[in-house]
Structure 1
Amino acid sequence: MNLEDLRAVRSRERSSDSLQDLRDSFYEEVADYIQERKDERERAAAEADDPFASSEVQTLTDEIETAEQVSEAIYERRMGKLVKQASLAAAGMTGNTEGLTNEERRLYEDLVARIEENKSHVLDVLAGEADAHDESAGGGASPDPIDAAHANPEPDTVSDSSDEALTPDEPDESSAAAAMGSDLDTPDESPDAAPSTAAGDDAAADDGTAENDSIEDEAERTTVRITRDVGDVFGVDERQYSLEAEDVVVLPSENAKPLVEKDAAEEL
C-alpha cells in the first residue's frame, strides 16, 4: 500500500457509479500504511538536528496528510453508493454488495434493517395500527448510521472533482469526468457583457439558468495553483470543487483567499 495506490482507488471510485471491489481489510491496510509513515517520521525527526527544518520530516508529513485526505475521499464517495444500494435492497430490489470492506458490510446490513423497520412502521401508522410518535417502532431520536452515511452522499457531483484537476461536481457525482481532468469551465467574466433582453435570454431565465449565471458572475474569481491536496470545497458560486496538489484552477476569491493564507495554494 502506498500513496499512488490510494490515488488510483480514488480515481476508479470516482469514474464509476457502482462500488468497485475492495479487499475486506482495505481500511485496515490503509491504517497500517499511515502508521508506518508516522513511525518513519518520528525516526527522521529524532535523527535530525532541527526536525522543523528537515526536508525528510516535511516530506513524510505531506505524505501522511495526503494519504488521510485521499482515504477520507474514498470512504465518502463509497458511502453515497452504499446508501443507494441499501435503499434498493430494502425496497425489495437487488442491491450489489460485492467488494465491500468489513466495515462497509456491517453498515450496509444495518442500513437495510433500519430502512425496512422504518418502512414497516410508517405503513402501520398509515393503516392506523401504530403511533406515529412511537420512537421504539422505527423513528428513534438517537442518531443512526443512515445519518452518518448521508453526511456526504455523493458529494461530488462528482467528479468528486479533485483527481488531478478541478472540475465542478455533477449531481450524481459523475466522477468520471472530473477524475484526472483539468478542464474547468469558468463563467464569462467579460466586463463588457451586457444583459440581453432577447426572447432566448428570457427562456434561459425561465429554465433557472440565468439565476445560476448571475451567482457565478457576481463572484470575483482568482487563479491559483494548489500546493497540497485539499479535498472537496463548496464554492460561494454554488459549485463543488475537488482540489489536488499542482492543480491550476480558477476559484471564487472568497474561497481562494483562505487557501492561500493556509499555504494550501499560491495565487498566480
Structure 2
Amino acid sequence: MNLEDLRAVRSRERSSDSLQDLRDSFYEEVADYIQSRKDERERAAAASDDPFSSEEVQTLTDEIETAEQVSEAIYERRMGKIVKQASLAAAGMTGDTEGLTNEERRLYDDLVARIEENKSHVLDVLAGDADPREEPASDATGADPMAASHANPEPDSMSGDGESEPAPTERAESSAAAAMGGGLDEADDAPDDTPSPDARNAEGSAGADGAEGAARTTVRITRDVGDVFGVDERQYSLEAEDVVVLPAENAKPLVEKDAAEEL
C-alpha cells in the first residue's frame, strides 16, 4: 500500500457509479500504511537537529496528510453508493454488495435493517396501528466502519490518535441532511473544469425548484465534497471546480466551511 495505490482507488471509484471491489482488510491496510509513515517521521524528527525545518520530516508530513485526505475521499464516495444499494435491498430489490470491506458490510447490513424497520413503522402508522409520535423500537446496531482502522482525520486520521468518528448511520444521515460530505482531496490534484452531471442536472432543474418556493444559491465548489443529499430530495455529486445551483440550506454550510464560494 502506498499513496499512488490510494489515488488509483479513488480515481476508479470516481469514474464509476458502481462499487469497485476492495479487499476485506482495505481500511486496515491503509491505516497500517499511514502509521508506518508516521513512525518514519518520528525517526526522522529524532535524528534531525531542527525537525521543523527538516525537508524529510516535511515530505513525510505532506504524504501523511495527503493519504488521509485521499482515503477519506474514497470512503465518502463509497458511502453514498452503499446507502443507495441498501435502499434498493430494503425495497426488495437486489443490492450490489460485492467488494465491500468488513467495515462497509457492517454499515450496509445496519442500514438495510433500519430502513426496513422504519418502513414497517410508517406503514403501521398509516394503518392506524402505531403512534406516529413514537420512535420504532430498534435492535439494529452498527459499528463505525472506519473505527477499526482510524479515528477522526484531525490531526492524524486512520492511526488511532484522535477522537472516534461518528457511527456509520450517523455519518450517512449527516451527509444526507447537512450537505457536508467531507472527502477533501489534496490541492496538488488538477481539478476537472467540466461540471459534473449532477451539477448540470441541478442547474437545469433550478427553475422548477424555484417555482416551488425553495431558495437556491449558485456556488462554485472549491474542494471535493462527495455525494450530498439536498433538502430538495436530490443527490448532488460535488467535486472541486463544479458550478452548481444548490438549495440555500445546503449551500450555506459549504460556503461557511470554505468548501464552496457563492457566485
Q: CA deviation at 1:149?
A: 1.5
The amino acid of 1:89's aligned partner reads A
CA gap 1:14/1:208 in 2 versus in 1, 3 angstroms: same
Answer whether contact 1:161 1:169 (CA < 8 A) is retained: no
The amino acid of 2:169's aligned partner reads I
Answer whether contact 2:13 2:77 (CA < 8 A) is retained: yes
Please list the CA deviations of residues 27-68 of structure 1 after superposition, one character each: whole Å capped at 9, or x if unmatched.
000000000000000000011111011100000000000000
CA gap 1:137/1:126 in 2 versus in 1, 3 angstroms: farther
2:171 is the counterpart of 1:171: no
RMSD: 4.1
The amino acid of 1:67's aligned partner reads A
CA gap 1:44/1:150 in 2 versus in 1, 3 angstroms: same
Answer whether contact 2:199 2:237 (CA < 8 A) is retained: no
Counterpart residue number, 1:2: 2
Which of 221, 240, 243 is residue 242 of structure 1 equivalent to?
A: 240
Counterpart residue number, 2:83: 83
Counterpart residue number, 1:56: 56
Please list the CA deviations of residues 123-161 of structure 1 after superposition, one character each: whole Å capped at 9, or x if unmatched.
0010001111221436x9xx97434214336989x9x99
The amino acid of 2:117's aligned partner reads E
Please list the CA deviations of residues 156-177 of structure 1 after superposition, one character each: whole Å capped at 9, or x if unmatched.
9x9x998642344442899xxx
Answer whether contact 1:80 1:150 (CA < 8 A) is retained: no
Higher-Rg member (1/2): 1
CA gap 1:173/1:54 in 2 versus in 1, 3 angstroms: farther
Counterpart residue number, 1:133: 133
The amino acid of 1:106's aligned partner reads R
CA gap 1:205/1:96 in 2 versus in 1, 3 angstroms: closer
Partner Cα distance (2:47, 2:115) in 1? 54
Counterpart residue number, 1:73: 73
Answer whether contact 2:118 2:136 (CA < 8 A) is retained: no
Counterpart residue number, 2:171: 148
Partner Cα distance (2:33, 2:200) in 1? 28
Counterpart residue number, 2:244: none
Partner Cα distance (1:73, 1:144) in 2? 17
Partner Cα distance (2:200, 2:174) in 1? 14
Counterpart residue number, 1:194: none
Gaps of at least 5 residues in structure 1 are: 175-203, 220-225, 244-254, 260-268
Counterpart residue number, 1:35: 35
The amino acid of 1:166's aligned partner reads D
The amino acid of 1:100's aligned partner reads L
Using the size of structure 2 for normalisation, the TM-score is 0.62
- The residue correspondences of 1:203-222 to structure 2 (distance < 5 A) are 215=218
CA gap 1:240/1:106 in 2 versus in 1, 3 angstroms: closer
Partner Cα distance (1:86, 1:161) in 2? 30
Counterpart residue number, 1:24: 24
Aligned length: 196
Partner Cα distance (1:95, 1:128) in 2? 31
Helix, strand or coil at the partner of 1:135: coil
The amino acid of 2:240's aligned partner reads S
CA gap 1:79/1:6 in 2 versus in 1, 3 angstroms: same
Gaps of at least 5 residues in structure 2 are: 141-165, 211-216, 227-235, 242-254
